[in-house]
Structure 1
Amino acid sequence: MPPALPDHPPASARFLAIETSTDTLSLALGEARPGGALHRFSGAGGAQASTTLLPQVQALLDAAGWRLGDLDAIAFGRGPGSFTGLRTACAVAQGLAYGTRNARHPHGLPLLPVDTLLALAEQARADHAADGHPAPRHTAALLDARMDELYVAAYAHTPQGLVEIAPARLCAPAALAGWLADQGLDGPDTLLAGNAFGVYGDALGQLNGQRRSALPTAEALLRLAPGLLAAGRAVAARDALPLYVRDKVARTTAEREGSA
């Protein structure tokens, strides 16, 4: 069995973050301490991510003067999101973890599978603060799931960070107002964050709350990684799995006719 992880990672802990759940490939490499070394890459995702990802990871390591064995963990966006993107991030993270075994990590690098909507909410929080706005009480993360649906989740802002209050689920745009009301999130102290406003503007036009366009990013994963590692959320490569939420990419003819 892999040895137990420390309760508190060192301030100099080093992380690689991989986020490919949308049409953007996002990578970040850095340390846990504030102002620690940070190297980043952003480019086209989707089908191109699988060919670009590994060379860019190596480029970031070279820029930092680090090797994979110098890392303490790899964080990756586990979903929900693009099926291809999630599989790519998970497979690459597993491969890097399995291939990096040394005295510090005899069983390979630990992995931190992070919910995509948590990373989206964290990026929105950071952008909101950078613009000088006070922190909202809650954030509802909204990610376009295609097929006229959204991935949604909700988080409370606390002194300890973002805390999930409603887990990821699928929601029709027209049903979002009701879902927000059911969660008590239909007021001005809720930040609605994501990439859904331009896609489903008509259906979302009457929603209450502040709005901010945002995507999950590797930098958000990097900020979340130390706390997740300290909380014991790291897993072995074999236990790292995507979170799809939607079980099927397409419905059958019978299913489509039944919902008409």
Structure 2
Amino acid sequence: MTTRIIVFFLLFSTVFNFHLAGAETNDMERIRTLIVGAATKAESIGCRNIDILADNYKGMRSSPKFSELQDLEADLVHFWREALANMGRLAHSDMEKALLLYSCGGLSSKDYIDLLQESLVLVKNGDLDREIFYDIQTPFNETSDAWAVLIKNPENPAVREIIKSSKKIFHDMPERISSYDRILSGKSFRELEKFETGMRDEVVLNSNPTLDTRNSTTVVQEVFPERDETIKKRWVKLPMIIGVFVGLIGAGIWFLKRRE
């Protein structure tokens, strides 16, 4: 009896593993198809290398003509680890590798840091162009949780390791070294916080109807100094207009009575 149970368990486990392997193969085949389709369309509009692709990716990802990118971004949220593990099979050129990694911008901050760590290994092993690695350090999806993830987490040990390794990779590019130093020191994060605070204040100021009317009036007058005077002139002219209108009505009635 015990032997039968063990045999049944092993059989079930084998079938289940085959099923999982088949499902993963289908997922990877779909991702490969999406990458090839996106790369073909990108090349058709003049994206002949990764520099041009990086300059145009934001516009491409929001265009209905590039539905492959939208599907790819949706799929990679769930399958990015498998995709990176199968990079050699899924992406055969730098263009295809870039499309694969650029499309991972919708990950969570934690997953994106993991993605950068794994991409760093690919760079060190010579399997990924360092420029693609540099491009993905700031995700192209600016509304995602992972946007500016390195700048926002300067004290995170994994982030610091990524930045320090990046300094070695781009040792021949002083401007990038300086940028990495600002991230490590937290200066970039403070500058980003200041910028985002200013943007939030501006949005609130322009959209909140419950703001103190004295403050909001002052702002309106500063932005549109002629607006208040125009309103005053309209109110001054209104009684004059009403008087003229009443006078014309009276004259009309008098004229009709005379004809009778």
Shared topology, TM-score over 0.5? no
Larger Rg: 2
TM-score normalised by the chain length of structure 1: 0.25
- TM-score normalised by the chain length of structure 2: 0.25
Determine which structure has the larger strand proportion and give its number: 1
Q: Compare relative contact order (CA 8 Å, sep 6+) and give the higher one, 1 or 2.
A: 1
